Chains A and B, each alone.
Chain A
Amino acid sequence: MFNSKTVLCGVTVIVLEAQLSKSELDVLKKIVELNRDVDFGELARGTSLSEEGLSSIVELLKSKGIVEVAEKSILIAKTSEEGLSYLEALPEEKVAKFIQEHGGSASIEEIRKFLGEFVASIGISWAVRRGWIRIERGVAKFQSFVPLTRHREILALFANGKEVDESIRNSDVFQELVKRKLINISVTKQRIVKLAIPYQEALKLVMQKPVASKLTHEMIASGNWKNYVFKAYNLEALPPLIYPGKRHFFKDFVDMIRDVMEDLGFEEVKDDYIIPELWNFDILFQAQDHPSRDIHDILVVDGYADLSMYSDVVERTRRVHEVGGFCGSTGWRYKWSYEKASKLILRSHTTAVTARYLIGRKPPARLYTIARVFRRDNPDPRHSPEFTNFDGVIMEKDFNFRKLLGLLAQILRSIGIEKFKFKPAYFPFTEPSVEGYGYVPGYGWIEVFGAGMFRPEVLEILGVDAPVGAWGMGVERLAMVVYGIDDIRLLFSRDVEFTRSFPYAKRFYVR
């Protein structure tokens, strides 16, 4: 704000290119005009400001080294009522004069009678004190008399209240008058403003344009902008913290996968969370006593579904489970329970959704879904009871396992995984089954998805006659590896600050 510019005559003077606002300039102008030290009260009156308002402006000027403020204690004296009544003569003067005119002596009674009780007693005692009279047996005798001119001068001087200067303050007369309560004194503080810079410099400053901190519409419209200089920005200060509205990084990740699938010609499908076990397990040929159907692994709600609309599927399911249907399977060779299949649960995977949409369909079909599923897990850094499954199915007349591997390779590459390997696996509803592992730089190998060809039993249950390839993936797991997050709970917005501070650039991981 200040620039040191010149050295003047061996004395370093800071020439101020100070930026002064209009009000600062007005006050400084007044001081320069008066060209003397001025007291606050006077300055306030001269600039039509309140003492408070003036105070803050003076502070600003002071902080810029342009003025100085000195505080002085001053003594004010004012002649009291009593004092005013003695302007013509003090009581002792009256007494002395009376006695003198009374032949040089008078009785106290006579004096009292003439002057009044009050004045007489004061007058007599002071006259005695001064040695002007002598009292003998109730009679006052005149001795001498000196007019108290000085006393009366001083009483008159302070008739309206005034500052007491040094010499008077120290005089005996004044002090006596104060003691006699003929003059009242009080102490006040006076603030004096004076220039801290040479007059010429002050004059120069006053000629500047005031500083404005904002250009307004008014200034432009009125042309008034020409009368101002605009304040420089403080570029080192940080601005207030604002957050842009932001897409959730995980939802963006999901959208990225959606885009990959749609580019490959897949159509999104959706279903309810609460479904009968029929869709989740039975149509996928999962045996009813299979451990993954245990009440310890899936989440259950009360009640049963009404499967009367689905009797075709139900019958095919029963036949395939019990005796293997017509596809050449042995089936599970147990008694299949309709009641168990209609039990309402929270879906535990999304193959329940894609498979359901294939029922009775003719090839070709390419379907996918990315949606929430539920398992009986307590939340901890690696598990969530609710997470996102990405599932797809492809049904085509000549579809086969090698084509499935090819499609999986393509999907892996599209989501940015270039290095991958396939491992034989087991799922109850696919054969052959495969697990795809991807290599994520900075992390290592991670199992990305499970996949396989739907078993012929499943195809018979679904009522389709073309081969189907299917795959499924836990999306949070991959997102966590890719974003370097090691607590799955952070994905579910417990910490809004984490979400809103997650930089957009971090989303461009391997791609």
Chain B
Amino acid sequence: MPVVRARLELLMKLANVFDAEMLRDILFKLKCETEVEEGNIIAVEVQSDRVDMFSVEGIAKAIRFYTEQEKFSEPVLKNVPFKVFVQQPPAKRPYIAVAAVTNVKLDEERLKLLIDFQERLHATFGRNRRKVAIGLHDLDKLPSPVLEYRDVDIDKTTMIPLHDFREFSIRDVLSLTEQGKLYGFISLNNSFHPAILSNGKVISLPPVINSDITRLTEETRNILIDVTGTDFDAVNSVLNVIIHALTFYGGEVLGAIVKYPDKEVTTPNLTSKRMRIDMGFASSWLGIDAANNVELVRKALEKMGYRIMEINKNFIIVDVPYYRMDILHQVDVVEDIAMGIGYENLGFLDVEPRPIIKKGFGLRDVANIVRDVLIGLGYTELNTLTLIPQQIAEVISYGVTPMVVNAPSNEINALRTSLAQSIIAILKSSQHIPQPVKVFEIGDVVTECRSCYNKWKNELRVCWAIMDSETRFEELHASLHAIIREFGLEKKLVLRPCNIEFFVRGRCAEISIDDVVIGFMGEISPEKLEKLEIFYPITLAEISINALQTVHSKNFG
């Protein structure tokens, strides 16, 4: 979740709430967890659906609505002085929205917070600038209100990048600047790259870097915003959210006409989305009687920044503020009703108990019996990961190992196909504790299943093992019988010589019941032990709980 940090005093001033406890409580009710850090900085964790709250101003505005200090009204689009010509939309980044906000008084603190806001949008909603990128410019330094947005030849075009004074070719900007190295690949199209030009000069190279010509300073009073990206709605929504933050201080909004080859769009679009909410739906979804509490519902929505156009027992017509991009369905407004009322005020309704009659002898019942027997025989239950290092699977190999393509380390780059792999790994790090070490686990392994729709099936297995100064095959064999006896299947238990290569030849067995192989047991071969740097003998058995359950139900129904 994105975290917005600012001086607590600043937020209090902007929100006009001076009690820190109350402020934090309101934010809690607005989905935000808060922490006050050293230096009296408040860190607000905002949820990713409320992009409008990614700025300090957006948070302050939400608090003001919630505390009924104001009601929502959209800023006025004063006029539309900008033209943006997009004759050939850049292939990798076709959409652009442009606007300006006047009378924004920046100081050092506000400029820093504005840059933070921009970066936060880039990183999360903007998918690291791939989906959306933002450029902020000092309007007064803009060469011309007529802009062009197109791909430019990176060798034939130059610009003065931010914080520099020299002209560089676009190619150089991409390869020499830090931003170029980080973001240059995103929209590069062979030797062409998108650029915004004003009077023939490059003022922005989205999503990489702006030109120094229009750099923002503490003296900036009027800000031009450009938003480019791969999704038309996303681009316009982000522009709105920025305007929402910048118009907090008053000021006017100036728009642009964006001329695409096939259409003309005026940006920003500050009109609210009008929606109809069914009262019946709100009532049944939340479990409240909305129809008879119309005033409560109205107040709740106004606290959440909505404008009520009409409300009665049957429906509500609301205007959703232009800066909200998370309202996809009337249910999103219904959540805001619940938040406006306050979850703590909603109360609970009891859910009727529904006792179920447990039928049959399921997988877990089989597992619990095996567990009880092994505990009774003195084995310690383990809790291990299914993820294993591929190395272990190479030494203790059992079938085809599923590999994790993007594992963060080699310790967890494969999945076990046998519990023995995990158990042996644990025994390896248990060589210095008092012996005998008797351990077991009941857990899932992942096995290849070519005919399954998802190619890999889980299987529930039990594996138990003894590590001691000498092998304990007899004890293990006796424990196998002890387990199978509890299922009434001891007479059907058959052991045959097995071929598993991590066991000592001739000292391992395939375990079957009714001619179905349900598992194996044996002594781990000293060659494998040596490879794993284990210096004590291990005797081990593994059985499929799934197979055991199947065999049991065949015999006993």
**Within the assembled complex, what's the spacing in Å between the Cα atoms of A329 and B349?**
28
Total number of A-B contacts with CB less than 8 angstroms?
Answer: 236
A374-B387 in contact given A400-B287, A496-B426 (Cβ < 8 Å): yes
Assess whether A496 is in contact with B343, with CB atoms less than 8 Å apart: no
B351 and A245 within 8 A (CB): no
Q: Is A74 an interface residue (CB 8 A)?
A: no
Contact (Cβ within 8 A) B49 A268: no
Q: Does A265 contact B (CB under 8 A)?
A: yes
Stretch with Cβ within 8 A of B (4 or more), from A3-11, A152-160, A375-383: A375-383
Beta-carbon contacts under 8 Å, A261-310 to B = 262-265, 267-268, 270-276, 289, 291, 295, 299-303, 305-310
Select which of B28, B287, B334, B356 is within 8 A of A403 by beta carbon: B287
Contact call B346/A264, Cβ cutoff below 8 A: no
Bound state CA distance, A317 and B377, in angstroms?
A: 51
The answer on a CB contact under 8 Å between B444 and A273 is yes
| Chain B residue, CB-CB nearest to A405 | B348
Chain A residues with CB under 8 A of B355:
265
CB pair A272 B405 closer than 8 Å: no
Considering the complex, which residues of chain A in the window 349-365 have a beta carbon less than 8 Å from any beta carbon of chain B? 364
Interface size on A, residues (CB 8 A): 92
The stretch that binds B, out of A91-99, A213-221, A224-232, A423-431, is A423-431
Whether A265 contacts B353 by the Cβ 8 Å rule is yes
A250 sits at the interface (CB 8 A): yes
Alpha-carbon distance between A385 and B414 when the two chains are bound, in angstroms: 12
CB of B305 to closest CB in A, whole Å: 14
Residues on A with C-beta less than 8 A from B28 are 423
B117 at the interface (CB under 8 A from A): no
B350 within 8 Å of A by Cβ? Answer: yes
Are the C-beta atoms of B378 and A372 separated by less than 8 Å?
A: no
Q: Are B329 and A424 in contact (CB under 8 A)?
A: no
Whether B127 contacts A291 by the Cβ 8 Å rule is yes
A364's partner among B339, B354, B455 (CB-CB below 8 A) is: B354
Interface string of A379-423 (1 = CB under 8 A from B): 100001110000000100010111101110110000000000111
Check if A251 sits within 8 Å of B381, measured CB to CB: yes
Give, as a whole number of angstroms, the nearest-CB distance from B330 to chain A.
6
> Interface 1/0s, chain A 189-228, versus B by CB < 8 A?
0000000000000000000000000000000000000000
Q: In the complex, are the beta carbons of A245 and B31 less than 8 A apart?
A: no
**B117-139, CB under 8 A of A: which get 1 and which 0?**
00000001001000100000000
Contact A424 B31 (CB under 8 A): yes
Q: Determine whether B360 belongs to the interface, using a CB cutoff of 8 Å to chain A.
A: no
Residues B131 and A289 in contact, CB atoms below 8 Å apart: yes
Identify A496's interface contact among B329, B347, B349, B433, CB under 8 A: B433
Q: Is A346 in the interface zone, CB < 8 Å from B?
A: yes
Q: CB distance B453 to A401 under 8 Å? A: no
A426 contacts B31, C-beta separation under 8 Å: yes
Spot the interface stretch: B10-18, B79-87, B368-376.
Answer: B368-376
Residues A492 and B406 in contact, CB atoms below 8 Å apart:
no
Decide: B329 and A244 in contact? CB cutoff 8 A.
no
- Interface presence of B78 (CB below 8 A): no
B408 and A273 form a contact (CB under 8 A): no
| Partner pick for B371 among A247, A289, A405, A434, CB 8 A cutoff | A247
- Assess whether B444 is in contact with A300, with CB atoms less than 8 Å apart: no
A169 to chain B, nearest CB (A): 59
Contact of B350 among A245, A331, A406, A499 (CB under 8 A): A406
Supposing A273-B444, A423-B28 touch, asked if A247 and B381 sit within 8 A by C-beta, the answer is: yes
Assess the A274–B348 pair: CB atoms within 8 A: no
- Are the CB atoms of A432 and B339 closer together than 8 Å? yes
Kindly provide the distance from the CB of A493 to the nearest chain B CB, expressed in whole angstroms.
Answer: 4
Complex CA distance for A329 and B327, rounded to whole angstroms: 9
Q: A224–B402 Cα gap in the complex (Å)? A: 68
Which 9 residue pairs across A and B have the least CB separation, nearest first? Answer: A400-B287, A402-B287, A265-B354, A406-B348, A432-B335, A426-B47, A245-B375, A329-B329, A248-B381
- Chain B contact residues, CB within 8 Å of chain A: 28-31, 33, 47-50, 124, 127, 131, 231, 233, 284-288, 328-332, 334-335, 338-339, 343-344, 346-351, 353-356, 358, 363-364, 371, 374-387, 402-409, 411-412, 415, 426, 429-430, 433-434, 437-439, 444, 446, 453-458
Q: A394-B351, A493-B426 are in contact. List 12 more A-B contacts (CB 8 A).
A: A245-B377, A251-B383, A265-B354, A265-B356, A334-B231, A344-B455, A401-B287, A403-B351, A431-B329, A457-B328, A496-B382, A496-B433
27 A-B residue pairings within 8 Å (CB atoms) = A243-B380, A247-B375, A248-B380, A250-B383, A251-B383, A271-B458, A274-B454, A291-B48, A295-B406, A376-B406, A378-B408, A385-B408, A401-B286, A401-B287, A402-B286, A402-B288, A403-B350, A405-B346, A410-B350, A431-B332, A431-B334, A431-B335, A432-B335, A453-B285, A494-B426, A496-B430, A496-B437
